Amino acid sequence: MKKSLMGFSASFFLMTAVFTLGFGSSVIAADNDYKIGCVFSVTGNTSWLGEPQKKTVEMIADEINAKGGIKGRKISLFIEDNQGDNTRTVNAVKKLVQKDKVCAIIGPSESGTTMAVIPVIQKMETPVPLLSCAAAEEITKPASERKWIFKMGQNDSDAVRRIYENMNKKGIKKVGILTATNGFGNAGRKKLTEMASEFGLQIVSDETYNPSDTDMTAQLLKIQKAGAEAAVNWSIVPAQSIVPKNMKQLKMSIPLYQSHGFANVKYAEAAGDAAEGLVFPAGRVMAVSTLPDGHPQKAVLNEYKTAYEAKYKDHVSTFGGHAYDGLWLVVKAIEAVGDDPAKIRDYIETAQFTGTGGQFKFSAADHNGLDKNAFEMLTVKNGQFVVLGE
Amino acid sequence: MGIQRGCIYALVAMGYNIIYNSTGVINFAQGEFVVYGGLMMVTLTMSLGMPVLPSFFLAVIFAMIVGILMERLTINPVKNPTGLQLIIITIAVSIIMKGLAMCFWGKGSHYMKHFSGDEPLKVLGALLLPQTLWIMAILFIIVILQGFFFKYTMTGKSMRACSINRDSAKLAGINDRFMVMLSFALSAGAGAVAGIIITPIIQMDYGRGAILGLKGFGAAVAGGLGSSFGGVLAGLLLGILEAMGGGYISSHYMDAMALIILIMVLFIKPSGLMGGAGAKGTREI
């Protein structure tokens, strides 16, 4: 009797152990597979970034493995969910490198978590290249301190550049800015304030809000009182849909610019007709159909969009695109130099390719490889994203 | 802005008070009912395209059924429960409800159309959303209905009898366990109404329950636990002060405002604004 009880509890503990360990990365990789790590915010309040990224890399892995893998060896993905949390990100990266022995890591999804994990990667004895899917320029600058860090997302400074250029065209002088207090928002706020003078603009009101806030009328009223001629909102959270609604509620008629974090049609849907006419910079994923046929990115964008939308019955987003570019780059590197992390790093540093995010030209001094031309200015028309004829 | 939120806190506080009055327990899953009401409404109106009115009642009934299930499955089976045990149970239920909501409705933020358009109206020089008028009207109706129910109907009177002295009520032939179940249903309904009317303005996701529940709890305590009228008053006050604090000090301390006010009230008048009602019989909490 006692024995069976012991046996039962032992097996029960074993089962729970298997379950809890198994959930992190539910792949049992064969030894000769190419192991690639991913850290995305699949859950948490930035799941709108991480979820399409996870779906995208799974789609690519299925496609590659269905064709027999890379040179006859399959790839297996180790996907970790960081829930948008710094500590979880650091732990996930350590686990991927030390326990799972991956040859490269795609992600994290956010600027804040990427910044948190950079020192961890740089201090490792045997680091692996990290291809962040975030936007902040600090991630890859200064290049001398970012030997193993690359970035697939376009620079936030280039997004600011495009917005400010558009303001110059419209003759706007006074700007009110509104940023969320997280990694993405803080980095954007810094760039918006630093670069304003360069474009002859004056920041008359500098407001912030918590990423989880649901009402920005207080900040918008301050922007209105300060006499701003345009408002810029910088965040990656559902607040992006609430800001235009709040503006409509206050009957504010100044133009609203959003950051490239707005590049998910769901945000426009959630804001309804309040979103009509707002302007934001975004990767060209969002407006494939309105690109001219000769555009160098058109083929790759079409390929990603049709595959993703057919498989998941969901809109593509630029965020998923960053993961798409990252994984294909790693796959190309493995094809060329095998799965030694140092060799992959060296390969990426000189790589040039056309991805969903733009035409990448990596170099030792530039671990992002994109410039302001990676962005297209878009606007919302009848609930759809269309290219703004500048 | 503050009035909208105040109405929501008032409704959540009302939910706390209904259950507190019949069982002497703080139901920490109260915030989840707000989420369930809101999300169910989103499903009915946005996904199934049903009109607002029937959806409203269906969503409330749905939340009430969840409330009844919660009481029957987790509260009722406990023999001779202590207050602490019941509180731990409600916390567990709130975690389970949150998980289920995530499974059913996903992790995204859900939005919903306003009941009657979102063109702001000019009222006395201030801009008001039609939805705000809805919120105020619905809160008013609920308060009146609640007052009428507890004062003039036999069931309401029986519930009050149970809250005053459960043993005596039992001896007088009142089915006390049924009353407890009813109190859970009513409080879930009140929470769901709050969720339904606020969702068009703030959007709703599965993780909102905790903070809404917390602020409603603050309102209930500040108003004096057990005093429905106090809870409504304190809820409105909390919402308005919060919005003012957000506007004049910094919106970053918006969530803290509610708790600061709560602590101040407890320092000055421990029994709450409308205290006394909550202090009848020191229950072990």
What's the gap in Å between the CA of A12 and the closest CA on chain B?
A: 22
Find the range with the poorest average confidence among A17-31, A46-60, A331-345, B260-274.
A17-31
| A39 HSE (CA, 13 A, CB side) | 32
The per-residue pLDDT string of chain B (285 residues; one tens digit each, 9 = 90 and over) reads 678 889 999 999 999 988 888 777 889 999 999 999 999 999 999 989 999 999 999 999 999 999 999 999 999 898 887 878 888 999 999 999 999 998 999 877 888 888 888 788 887 777 788 998 999 999 999 999 988 998 899 998 888 888 888 888 889 999 988 998 999 999 999 999 999 999 998 889 888 898 899 899 989 988 888 888 889 999 998 988 888 877 777 767 777 877 888 888 888 887 777 665 444 433 333
CB spacing of B120 vs A251 below 8 angstroms: yes
Interchain pair B118, A250: CB under 8 A: no
Contacts with B113 from chain A: Cβ below 8 Å: 272
Q: Taking CB atoms and an 8 Å limit, are A214 and B202 in contact across chains? A: yes
User: Nearest CA to A240 among A199, A218, A197, A272?
Assistant: A272
Which chain A residues contact residue B127 at CB under 8 A? 249-251
End-to-end CA distance of chain B, in Å?
Answer: 34
Mean pLDDT across A273-294 = 89
Task: Give the whole-angstrom CA distance, residue A266 versus residue A272.
Answer: 10
The pLDDT value given to residue A30: 67
Count residue pairs from A and B with Cβ separation < 8 A. Answer: 65
In tens, the pLDDT along A294-307 reads 889 999 999 999 99
Closest partner residue to A47 among B107, B120, B129, by Cβ? B107
Distance from CA of A72 to the nearest CA of B (A): 38
| CA–CA dist A216, A235 (Å, integer) | 13
Give the residue on B whose Cα is nearest the Cα of A180: B252
Give the distance, in angstroms, between the CA of residue A203 and the centroid of all CA atoms in the same chain: 27
Instruction: Please give the backbone phi and psi of residue A235, each rounded to the nearest 5 degrees, phi first.
Output: -160, 170
Name every residue whose Cβ is closer than 8 Å to that of residue B56 and which is 6 or more positions away in sequence. Answer: B41, B196
CB-based contact A218 B1, cutoff 8 Å: yes
N- to C-terminal Cα distance for chain A? 81
Chain A partners within 8 Å of B202 (Cβ): 214-215, 242
Which chain B residues are within 8 Å of A217, Cβ to Cβ? 1
Which chain A residue has its CA at the smallest distance from B109's CA? A238
Residue of B nearest to A274 (CA): B118
How many angstroms from the chain centroid is the CA of residue A106?
11
Angle at A285 between CA A282 and CA A290, to 5 degrees: 95
Burial class (CB in 10 A: 0-12, 13-18, 19+), B76: middle
DSSP secondary structure string for all residues of A222-258: HHHHTT-SEEEEE-SSTHHHHHHHHHHHTT--S-EEE
* Peptide bond connecting B81 to the previous residue in cis, omega within 30 degrees of 0: no
Distance CA A136, CA B233 (A): 46
The answer to whether B107 contacts A274, with C-beta atoms less than 8 Å apart, is: no
- Sort out which chain B residues have CB atoms less than 8 A from A43's CB and list them: 102, 107
Closest CA of chain B from A270, distance in Å: 6
Residues of A in contact with B118 (CB under 8 A): 245, 248-249, 272, 274
Taking an 8 Å cut-off on Cβ atoms, the answer to whether A250 and B109 are in contact is no
Of A213, A249, A270, the CB nearest to B111: A270
Beta bridge pairs of residue A37: A78, A105
- Measured distance CA(A235)–CA(B124) in Å, rounded: 34
Least CA distance to A247: which residue of chain B? B120
CB B37 within 8 A of CB B60: yes
Residue that has been written with the tokens 């890379």 in this structure: A70
A210, A213, A266 ranked by CB distance to B108: nearest: A266
The first and second tokens of residue A162, run together, are 């495009």
Phi-psi domain of A383 (left: phi exceeds 0; alpha: psi -120 through 50; beta: other): left
